[in-house]
Amino acid sequence: MEEVAKYVDEMDVTVHGATPEIHDAFNGVKGSYEHVMNNIKEYAKVKSEEQAICAVINVMPHTINNMERIMLNTALELDGQLDSFVIQRIAPSGRASGNQFFIQPLDVNKVMEVFKRLKDENGFNYEFCDVFPYCSIKPEYRDMLPKGGCNWGTEVCAVFSDGSVKRCAMGSSELTNMADLDTPEKFQEFWNNNPELQAYRKKYHLDEKCQRCEMLDDCGGACTMSRFYGDPYAKKNLDKNGRPRTGHDVLAME
């Protein structure tokens, strides 16, 4: 662990339930909760003060009513070693295809109330990996959310173990491979001129309602992937001219 730790800026682990049994059942691997917590504790022993430990919490049907218990139990288990919670949703991609992990619009402010209260009472810090549509969030909770929309494709991209590069970690299309971007100049050319990245930054995937929304600059159109048909930039969702299917986040107000 000590040899690996020096190369890690931040270690994130996903917690799927308020108890080891619920977490293991969701993962389908008995003992996975204990294993991940032990690894985090070992990492905490050797990391520097600049390196962070974060617990990823997925907002999904089986967690929305147990969010407070999940977060309090996780903080207790890690006993002061936790720097922040990373809040995300599960996109309909890969093994998660379909809408079984989508929460309902009415549930959004229910979980936001929990986040706000735990922040005020326990000093919890949050990083929102997924952007939520501002139109569905009560004004008193919006200060917790990042402004400007999702930064996948504008500030960061996903690089996988085989070198493949995607705009979003949950995205469908491989844009290039790091083996072909072996100089800073080649990467900059790709980053500035890739057609999907250009289209995404111009928000071609948003429908007219979102494009005209007064909160668009803050919200950015929320999560591009959170749609019943999945990634609008997937090949199946492109028209004959290569433009993505337009729509909006499933949690956006109709």
State pLDDT tens for residues 182-206: 999 999 999 999 999 999 999 999 9
DSSP 133: P
Question: Whole-angstrom Cα distance, residue 197 to residue 208?
Answer: 20
Count CA atoms within 13 Å of residue 107 on its CB side. Answer: 16
> How would residue 5 be classed by pLDDT, with cut points 50, 70 and 90?
confident
Encode pLDDT of 134-190 as tens digits. 999 999 999 999 899 899 999 999 999 999 999 999 898 999 999 999 999 999 999
pLDDT at 90: 86
**Do 160 and 94 contact (CB within 8 A), yes or no?**
no
The pair of three-digit structure tokens given for residue 83, joined into one six-digit string = 């720097």
Question: Whole-angstrom Cα distance, residue 149 to residue 248?
Answer: 13
Question: Could you tell me which residues come within 8 angstroms of residue 254 by beta carbon, excluding any fewer than 6 positions away?
Answer: none
Question: Whole-angstrom Cα distance, residue 106 to residue 51?
Answer: 37
What is the rounded average pLDDT of the residues 41-52?
A: 92
> How would residue 133 be classed by pLDDT, with cut points 50, 70 and 90?
very high
DSSP 245: P
Encode pLDDT of 60-104 as tens digits. 998 999 999 999 999 999 999 999 999 999 888 777 777 788 888
What is the rounded average pLDDT of the residues 24-44?
A: 94
Please state, in angstroms and as integers, the Cα–Cα distance from residue 152 to each residue in 133, 148, 170, 196, 225, following that order. Answer: 16, 11, 10, 12, 11
In the predicted model, what is the mean pLDDT of the chain? 93
How do beta strands 164-166 and 176-177 pair? antiparallel
Segment (H or E) for 128: strand 126-128
